Amino acid sequence: MAIECLVLGAGQEVGKSCVVATIGGKRVMFDCGMHMGYHDRRHYPDFARALAAWGVPDFTSALACVVITHFHLDHIGALPYFTEVCGYHGPIYMTYPTKALAPFMLEDYRKVTMDQRGEAEQYSYEDILRCMKKVIPLDLKQTVQVDKDLVIRAYYAGHVLGAAMIYAKVGDAAMVYTGDYNMTPDRHLGAAQIDRLKLDLLITESTYAKTIRDSKHAREREFLKAVHKCVSGGGKVLIPTFALGRAQELCMLLDDYWERMNLKIPIYFSAGLTIQANMYYKMLIGWTSQKIKDSHAVHNPFDFKHVCHFERSFINNPGPCVLFATPGMISGGFSLEAFKKWAPSNKNLITLPGYCVAGTVGHKLMSGKPTRIDLDKDTHIDVRCQIHQLAFSPHTDSKGIMDLTEFLSPKHVILVHGEKPQMAFLKERIESELGIPCFYPANNESVSIPTTDNLKMSTTERFITSCAAEQGKQSLRKRNLIHGTGTSEVNGCDEAAVEGVILMEKHKAPKILCEDELAQVLGMERHLVQFEALGSSGIEEAVELEFKRAEAADLGSDGK
């Protein structure tokens, strides 16, 4: 058997994550994202081309299921298009938080693109709702039988609320698709967590394939310092974020700091969106970090004390403030509007996320120190404000990727969601340091991974217990009761090998027996064979004698 892996998006780039893996004949689509840097047909994965290659009439019969890892648009943005326009009607899985929060992200973005560019509508609000209705929610660690052969399971990925890594298995072939993940806990989320699974393939993100980050604390302090400096100088702070995820984390950070420093400067959210999102966060508190879970009976950390009511006109008000505005990479919407207003003043501060997709204003600001941004032919913005790039990202760094890969020790690795040169670097490391073959296909390329197969056989109780006795010199069953966590507990892997006999009879399934059981079944007899050194002990002379005699006999015969 093999796993055939077709990368439809996020191959040697970041954006429109979408991988179709064919495991034992079952096609599973992992993520269905959009690329925010493009507004032509490169906006979505090339579904039609894939369909043509599969040679099936429609997507529903082509795919066993679609699994979405988290609510970021580069992972879910194409889903309404795929279901409502391309006509996929099969099962779609995502975690509870993703199902609850994704409509916000989709609708927010849909509005932004429509308002800004007047693009032809790809899908409507109703499409989003219809699409989300079809989604089957997943809980973490829950083993879901998609069909007779295909099993999937979600593991905690950190990154954003509800982000999951997905395990998929058909027969003996198994793989994990990580989506985006974070190996260190942040203010509101825990670190990624997965069992030690037996995998043929690991598909991992590699946003920071080459970067190793320092302590989170220092980075948070830097951010707070920059914000505090700006507002105490009477400046305005613009924090472009998406409604969910980073907004909540940074707000927790600021709310806490405001409390400690006794600051009275208003913190705003540009849309009711984020405020409503906070209510979802309260219901989904079970998906945050352990620390928050343990303490939330007393105080829900998503009840922000210093966040004030906001109206759009406030961006013209004088005086310092902090504003969270969507979208995150200043690709349009209210964050662009505020940017236009505030960028020309050197008192103000704009924070930028750790990563911005090419083509966005955020990306332009990140590359070098531009003093002017050309939005289009006629619109130019002078940039005199301070720029603070947030050095903390909800993605794992290169050490984290290596750690996860080593922990899982899959037979093969595929890198996606990264930039080509960095991916090449990481591939080298994985192959040389971990000895695991690694690939990083470009979009629309596919990689075939061989998988190991097992034969199923029956065996007798005697064989099993004798193995146990041989291996542990103790009954396997009572062996010290090594309790494992999760599904991957391995027990009794002492190095001692065991012996048995396989009996193969025509028209019967083969069966493994102990030696004496076979003797009994087939009516065979046992004959002891002993191996001794030729020159051993007392027989030496006798043997010597025999040889002499034989030689003599040979000579004799020669003589004749």
Active-site residue set: 205
Cα three-residue angle 21-25-29, rounded to 5 degrees: 30
Compute the least distance from the CB of residue 465 to another protein, in Å: 10
Total binding residues toward another protein, as defined by CB under 8 A: 98
Piece of the chain touching another protein by CB under 8 A; list 63-71, 422-430, 434-442, 508-516: 508-516
Residue 115 touches which of another protein, Zn ion, none (CB < 5 to 8 A by kind)?
none
279: contact with another protein by CB under 8 A: yes
Compute the least distance from the CB of residue 75 to Zn ion, in Å: 6
Among 177, 225, 214, CA closest to 197: 177
Distance between CA atoms of residues 119 and 416, nearest Å = 29
Distance between CA atoms of residues 105 and 119, nearest Å = 18
305: contact with another protein by CB under 8 A: no
Compute the least distance from the CB of residue 292 to another protein, in Å: 11
Piece of the chain touching another protein by CB under 8 A; list 63-71, 79-87, 183-191, 523-531: 523-531
180: contact with Zn ion by CB under 5 A: yes
Torsion sign (Cα): 182, 184, 189, 194: positive
Largest CA distance in the chain: 127
Phi, psi of 314 (to 5 degrees): -60, -20
Structure tokens at 13: 């780039």
Is the peptide bond prior to 437 cis by the omega test (within 30 degrees of 0)?
no
Residue 454 touches which of Zn ion, another protein, none (CB < 5 to 8 A by kind)?
another protein
461: contact with another protein by CB under 8 A: yes
Residues 361-400 that bind another protein (CB under 8 A): none
Would you say 196 or 399 has its CB closer to another protein?
196
Could you say which of 456, 538, 541, 558 contacts another protein (CB under 8 A)? 456
Could you say which of 144, 375, 387, 391 contacts another protein (CB under 8 A)? 144
Distance between CA atoms of residues 310 and 320, nearest Å = 14
* Contact pattern from residue 151 through residue 190 relative to another protein, giving x for each residue in contact according to CB under 8 A and a dash for the rest: ---------------------x------------------
Residues 204-223 that bind Zn ion (CB under 5 A): none
296: contact with another protein by CB under 8 A: yes
107: contact with another protein by CB under 8 A: no
Distance between CA atoms of residues 309 and 466, nearest Å = 73
Residue 367 touches which of another protein, Zn ion, none (CB < 5 to 8 A by kind)?
none
DSSP 265-333: --EEESSHHHHHHHHHHHHTGGGS-HHHHHHTTT--TTS-SSEE---GGGGG--S-EEEEES-TT-SSH
Q: Which residues bind Zn ion (CB under 5 A)?
A: 72, 180
